[in-house]
């Protein structure tokens, strides 16, 4: 997606420890017009799938999923990262290690909102080692729902997550795949 | 907002400890069509304000803020609940006690994304004791930005937050204000 890649080149910053900061437009301050273009592109890439629900994970996946859901005309479910007393005990759960925050969360989805009749599109902002995505896949498998695919805004192609997910036979569409990244710049996979 | 009140009556559930569960359409599973109607209603209620940015707080405010932002044609900034290594040290910060989760978080916004030129609309899903909203107001004050108002989806009118915020002279628009709530039902403020 050229619009996105150009925006990453213009406003993204690589900081110490291999973190790509896109917080001026993607995951702290949000350019909602860009989210709309992202949503349209996900719809184009998954146009052939009969998706009836989008699953994402808090926090930064939620906005992208909601704007994207407008193009699919389906509800969003977001997985929560800690057990809230607002949730029933009746939940699907998976453990997810966070690369960014260096901790492990229990990720939960109420059993009310996923079932074997569902065909799910997973949406998230980043894919690196794939921990969050694997957690969501685990939760979908527990529910017996089908996985239509996964739509990711930015994939770090030099990390292992993309290969792991594609090797599972899951249709993975990343709108920008970063091939290499350093203080002096970044390149995208063609 | 009648559509919202009817939906709360139809699908909301009051559980032990005075928690109103609206997780089937508002803050776990999300009816994005309803979010659109909520966004339009916020635009109607703040039509006279020259808003240039929406501020919300993770996690469940983000989706509502993003869909609402489409009607204002402005970016969203969401406050984060813990210090991520993706953020600069250069942040505005406030302490926020969570009624739901029974803990206290540091809430932070990068100084890059709020300034004294901004006129901010705050958006959130719930208002009860007002802790989250007061944290966001504190952060806006640190930045020198103006507060155009606050748009809340569901206010618990029998708790103190609404009065505190209105007594500060802030324009507070809640789309449904719950007057009373028990196992046997709930009533709205007219």
At B107-121, the pLDDT tens digits run: 999 999 999 999 999
Percent of chain A exceeding pLDDT 70 equals: 95
Cα–Cα separations (whole angstroms), residue B110 to A160, B140, B149: 30, 11, 21
Could B77 and A28 be called an inter-chain contact, meaning their C-beta atoms sit closer than 8 Å?
Answer: yes
Residues in chain B: 190
A140 reaches B (C-beta below 8 A) = no
Cα–Cα separations (whole angstroms), residue A70 to A65, A75, A188: 9, 9, 28
Residues in chain A: 190
CA distance B39 to B28: 18
What's the number of domains chain A is made of? 1
Q: Is the distance from CB of B133 to CB of B36 less than 8 angstroms?
A: no
The pLDDT of residue B183 is 81
Q: Is the distance from CB of B162 to CB of B177 less than 8 angstroms?
A: yes
Give per-residue pLDDT as tens, A8-18.
Answer: 999 999 987 77
Say which residue, A84 or A46, is predicted with more confidence.
A46
The pLDDT of residue A18 is 76
The pLDDT of residue B59 is 94
The pLDDT of residue A17 is 75
The pLDDT of residue B50 is 97
Residue A99 confidence class, pLDDT cut points 50, 70, 90: low
Instruction: CATH number of the domain at B55, please.
Output: 3.40.50.2020
Whose tokens are 């953020």? That residue is B87
The pLDDT of residue A190 is 85
The count of C-alpha atoms lying within 13 angstroms of the C-alpha of A58, restricted to the half-sphere facing its C-beta, is 25
CA distance A144 to A120: 11
Residue B85 above 60 pLDDT?
Answer: no
A87 reaches B (C-beta below 8 A) = yes
Q: Is the distance from CB of B73 to CB of A70 less than 8 angstroms?
A: no
Percent of chain A exceeding pLDDT 90 equals: 84
Residue A85 above 60 pLDDT?
Answer: no
Residue B190 confidence class, pLDDT cut points 50, 70, 90: confident
Whose tokens are 């108002």? That residue is B149
CA distance A183 to A170: 33
> Which of A7, A12, A30 best tests the B interface by mutation, with the highest count of B CBs <10 A?
A30
CA distance A8 to B180: 49
B106 reaches A (C-beta below 8 A) = no
A104 burial type by CB count under 10 A (0-12 exposed, 13-18 middle, 19+ buried): exposed
CA distance A168 to B9: 43
Residue B87 confidence class, pLDDT cut points 50, 70, 90: low
Residue B99 confidence class, pLDDT cut points 50, 70, 90: low
DSSP strands (E only) in B47-164: 53-57, 76-79, 91-98, 103-110, 119-127, 146-156
The torsion angles phi and psi of B124, rounded to 5 degrees, stand at: -155, 165
Give per-residue pLDDT as tens, B18-43.
Answer: 789 999 999 999 999 999 999 999 99
Could B113 and A29 be called an inter-chain contact, meaning their C-beta atoms sit closer than 8 Å?
Answer: yes
B36 reaches A (C-beta below 8 A) = yes
B150 is in an annotated binding site: no
Could B69 and A36 be called an inter-chain contact, meaning their C-beta atoms sit closer than 8 Å?
Answer: no
B17 reaches A (C-beta below 8 A) = yes
CA distance B123 to B75: 12
The pLDDT of residue B184 is 81
The pLDDT of residue B86 is 52
Of all residues in chain A, the one with the smallest CA distance to B22 is A86
The pLDDT of residue A26 is 98
Residue A86 above 70 pLDDT?
Answer: no
Q: Smallest CA–CA separation between B186 and chain A, in Å?
A: 18
Say which residue, B190 or A148, is predicted with more confidence.
A148
Query: Average pLDDT of chain B?
Result: 93
Domain of residue B134 covers 39-176
Give per-residue pLDDT as tens, A12-52.
Answer: 999 877 789 999 999 999 999 999 999 999 999 999 999 99
The count of C-alpha atoms lying within 13 angstroms of the C-alpha of B42, restricted to the half-sphere facing its C-beta, is 32
CA distance A136 to A107: 8
* ipTM for the whole complex: 0.95
Q: Number of helices (H) and strands (E) in chain A: give both, helices first.
A: 5, 11
Give the pLDDT mean for A143-154: 98
Could B59 and A59 be called an inter-chain contact, meaning their C-beta atoms sit closer than 8 Å?
Answer: yes
Give domain status of residue B159, yes or no.
yes
A86 reaches B (C-beta below 8 A) = yes
Q: Is the distance from CB of B90 to CB of B111 less than 8 angstroms?
A: yes
């Amino acid at each position: 997606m050229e619009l996105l890649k150009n925006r990453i080149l213009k406003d993204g910053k690589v900081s110490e420890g291999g973190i790509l900061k896109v917080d001026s437009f993607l995951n702290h301050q949000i350019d909602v017009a860009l989210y709309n273009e992202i949503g349209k592109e996900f719809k184009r890439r998954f146009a052939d799938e009969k998706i009836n629900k989008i699953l994402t994970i808090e926090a930064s996946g939620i906005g992208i999923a909601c704007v994207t859901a407008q193009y699919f005309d389906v509800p969003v479910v977001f997985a929560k990262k800690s057990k809230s007393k607002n949730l029933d005990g009746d939940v699907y759960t998976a453990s997810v290690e966070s690369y960014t925050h260096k901790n492990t969360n229990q990720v939960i989805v109420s059993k009310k909102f996923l079932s074997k009749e569902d065909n799910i599109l997973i949406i998230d902002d980043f894919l690196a080692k794939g921990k969050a995505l694997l957690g969501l896949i685990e939760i979908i498998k527990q529910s017996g729902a089908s996985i239509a695919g996964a739509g990711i805004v930015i994939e770090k192609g030099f990390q292992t997550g993309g290969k792991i997910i594609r090797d599972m036979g899951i249709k993975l569409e990343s709108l920008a795949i970063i091939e290499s990244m350093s203080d002096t710049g970044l390149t995208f996979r063609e």
